[in-house]
Structure 1
Amino acid sequence: MDETQIYEARLEVIDFLIEVFYDAPDEEFLGRLFSDEVAVPEGEINDPMDRGFERLEAFIEANRSRSVEDVSDELRTEYTRLFVGPRPPALPHETYYREDTDFIGEGLAELEADYSAAGWKPHEDYPEENDHIAVELAFLRDLVDRQRRGEEAAFGFERVFLDEHLGRWHEAFLETVQDEFDMKEAEANLFLAATEVFVGLVEFEDELVAQQVPT
């Protein structure tokens, strides 16, 4: 895989995760997923990402022949239970998992300062707080795209972002999501698959950026 393909693969994985976590996956997304427009990387990458994509393939095979409307309705119910509430067990917010700040507290201001330092601002229409997983992934996507266009400073911004933010809560988030499913339920669960891919992505990005910006 050449450099161009690696950038494309990184962006495709991030786009997939944003679509899963931004809101309950809609019928359009599921239609693309079931028609194989969302490509699963070939070969081994790292353990959590490999497990996540295996689980994603199982989800696709288990639901491909079903009505996308029915699958979408089920996913919306599950998304609400897991991530929205009332009293959701796996709030997808960085500050919910950080022990050094209160939920939507001081840590949120620090995160927003890092966004600003990198010259990035979350979309104004997005209803969630800026430490929501989809917002953080959107920032990561911007940095990867800037790296693709030759902006070396974007590697440094990503190094800080991984060290100070994504890399400090991704594993706790996965543990919380895992606790919500028994073994049978987990075999083909889209949200657990995406959470594993998310953890694998953070690990992959950490190794890649370390080659450009030593820790």
Structure 2
Amino acid sequence: MSVDQQALYDARLELVDFLVDALYDVPDPEFVGRLLDGGLETPEAAVEDDLDRGFEYLREFVAEREGEDPDDVADDLNVEYTRLFVGPRPPVQPHETYFREDTDFLSTGLAEVEASYGAAGWSKPQSVSEEADFAGVELLFLRDLVDRQRRGEEAAVGYERVFLDEHLGEWVEDFRDAVREETDEPFYLAAAHVFAGLVAFERDLVA
């Protein structure tokens, strides 16, 4: 693998890891501290529209909260995460079946997501309690596929292409728009745009 290929894989995995930390659960102080210390490098050059917008929001978040205690910042983000995604009665439910009109949780929606995981030989870690269509779980699956590609598994490219076309690509933009309507917190605006931008970038990459 060339140096450029390795760097691309590292960047892809770093973005997925950021999204898992941001969206799977409330952000912990260690993760927040890394961000405030510049732990996620954001390119200055244009990459993709949503990624670029997400990086701008992330830089805004760091500039606003730099020098603050990561525990205090994490507490604030936890409050907003809970309001946005947990509730009671959260305005945004980060689940594929919530956003798709052609399926739902109780019919074929969840089963189709689980079938995609099974076809690729992946299953949720036992420690994961969320449903298969939860954003954080779909991101864990995406991470596994990218990591398998990095290790030379060509079939993982096809699994990712199908998953992006049939699942993540079908709802991530609606999720981004819903987050934009419901919060002005730069951290979650960054996560929503990076999520949509990463999916668009990955679709181009594996097409």
TM-score interval (norm. to shorter): over 0.9
Aligned equivalent of 1:198: 195
**What residue number does 1:154 align with?**
156
Work out whether residues 95 and 105 of structure 1, in 8 Å CA contact, stay in contact via their aligned partners in 2.
no
| RMSD of equivalent CA atoms | 1.2
Report which stretch shifted further, 94-103 or 74-83: 94-103
Secondary structure of the 2:19 match is: helix
Corresponding residue of 1:213: none
Structure 2 residue identity aligned to 1:13: L
1:82 pairs with 2:119: no
Match of 2:16 in 1: 14
Q: Is the 8 A contact 1:97 1:172 kept in 2?
A: yes
Give % identity.
57
Q: Secondary structure at the match of 1:73?
A: helix
Q: Which amino acid aligns with 1:101?
A: T
Q: How far apart are the structure 2 equivalents of 1:12 and 1:69?
A: 23
Give the corresponding residue for 1:25: 27
Report the CA distance between 1:126 and its aligned residue. Answer: 1.2
Q: CA deviation at 1:42?
A: 4.1
- The alpha-carbon deviation at position 38 of structure 1 amounts to 2.1
Q: For 1:69 and 1:105, how far apart are their aligned partners in 2?
A: 41
Inter-partner Cα distance in structure 1 for 2:100 and 2:146 = 25
Query: How many Å apart are 1:104 and its aligned residue?
Result: 5.1
Query: How far does residue 208 in structure 1 lie from its aligned partner after superposition?
Result: 0.4
CA-CA distance at 1:22 after TM superposition: 1.1
Aligned AA (1:81):
R
Question: 1:170 is matched with which residue?
Answer: 172
Which one of the candidate residues 42, 49, 52 is aligned to 1:50?
52
Unaligned 5+ residue runs, structure 2? none
TM-score (norm 2): 0.95
For residues 51-98 of structure 1, the C-alpha deviation after alignment (integer angstroms, 9 at most, x for no partner) is 000100110110012121211111111000000011111111001001
Which runs of 5 or more residues in structure 1 are unaligned? 211-215
Q: How far off its partner does 1:103 sit? A: 3.1
Q: Which runs of 4+ in 1 moved over 2 A?
A: none
CA deviations over 1:106-156 (Å, ceiling 9, x no partner)? 211011011011000111111211111111011011111111111111111
Cross-structure match for 1:72: 74
Contact 1:40 1:53 (8 Å CA) reproduced: yes
